[in-house]
Amino acid sequence: MSSHHIVRDDQEPALIIANGEACSQELLEQLLEWSPLIIVLDSAVERVFELGIKIDVLLGDFDRGFDVNYYKEKQYPIEIVHTPNQDKTDLEKAFDYLIEKKHKAVNVIWATGRRADHTITNLTNIVAYRNLLKIVILDDHSKVYLLPTKFEKWYTANTILSLIPIGKVRGITTENLFYTLHNEDLTIGYRTGSSNQTIQDGIVSITHKNGDLLLMECWD
């Protein structure tokens, strides 16, 4: 599908392909176009090979059996990273790999859908990487990332935005959202900011005092 590697000074985010529900070809090609590094988790490698994607790094615990020579012959050159630690998910290990290699940002696809436990874990675990790696998880219906304590971005009117706290988030204030928050708290499982939307074209402002707050840009 794509050989990627048309990159400008390694400024673009790396790309991780996990093993959830596949995204559209259009989204996949958009992300491949400028990604300087493509990492595939071992559980997804055969699905990725079927799409003809050039892989840079194959990473995982390889707990289903693994033949190094098979993958090196299948696609050369490729870096094989064996990460047997069972205390972290393969996606977290891929984040650790990127931090070690001094990457600053990454897009992640195929990380949602299919098993609910994997989806929840993938979305919530990104909070552990605050200030270490800018992580964006994308699928065909949403774009998810962790907010700084002060956030401003321009959106068109009626854009669906969901504020999802990981644990408790205190002192949230918003501007240009239909359901406005004024120094209020959100707590996962009790009160969240799901399916809010912009009032008009313009800047949306979201601030919070402390806690881990995810923003989900959503479309149907």
Q: What is the mean pLDDT of the chain?
A: 90
Q: How far apart are CA 40 and CA 31, in angstroms?
A: 14
Collapse the DSSP code of 214 into the 3-class scheme (helix H, G, I; strand E, B; otherwise coil) and give the result.
strand
The pLDDT of residue 9: 45
**In terms of Cα–Cα distance, which of 177, 156, 105 is closest to 186?**
177
Residues 6+ apart with CB under 8 A from 18: 41, 44, 90, 91, 108, 109, 110, 111, 118, 122
What percent of the chain clears pLDDT 70, i.e. is strictly above it? 94
Mean per-residue pLDDT, 124-141: 95
Q: Identify the residue whose tokens are 């491949």.
A: 32
**Model confidence pLDDT, tens digit, residues 144-187:** 999 999 999 999 999 999 999 999 999 999 999 999 999 999 99
> Do residues 139 and 113 make contact, with C-beta atoms less than 8 angstroms apart?
yes
The pLDDT of residue 7: 42
Collapse the DSSP code of 135 into the 3-class scheme (helix H, G, I; strand E, B; otherwise coil) and give the result.
strand
Whether the pTM exceeds 0.85: the reply is: yes
* Residue 86: Cβ within 10 Å count: 8
Tokens of 173: 């204030």
Which residue did the predictor score with more confidence, 31 or 9? 31
Which residue did the predictor score with more confidence, 8 or 173? 173
**Model confidence pLDDT, tens digit, residues 27-56:** 999 999 989 999 999 888 889 989 989 999
> Do residues 161 and 218 make contact, with C-beta atoms less than 8 angstroms apart?
yes
The pLDDT of residue 37: 95
Per-residue pLDDT band at 71 (split at 50, 70, 90): confident
> Do residues 175 and 90 make contact, with C-beta atoms less than 8 angstroms apart?
no
Which residue did the predictor score with more confidence, 65 or 174? 174
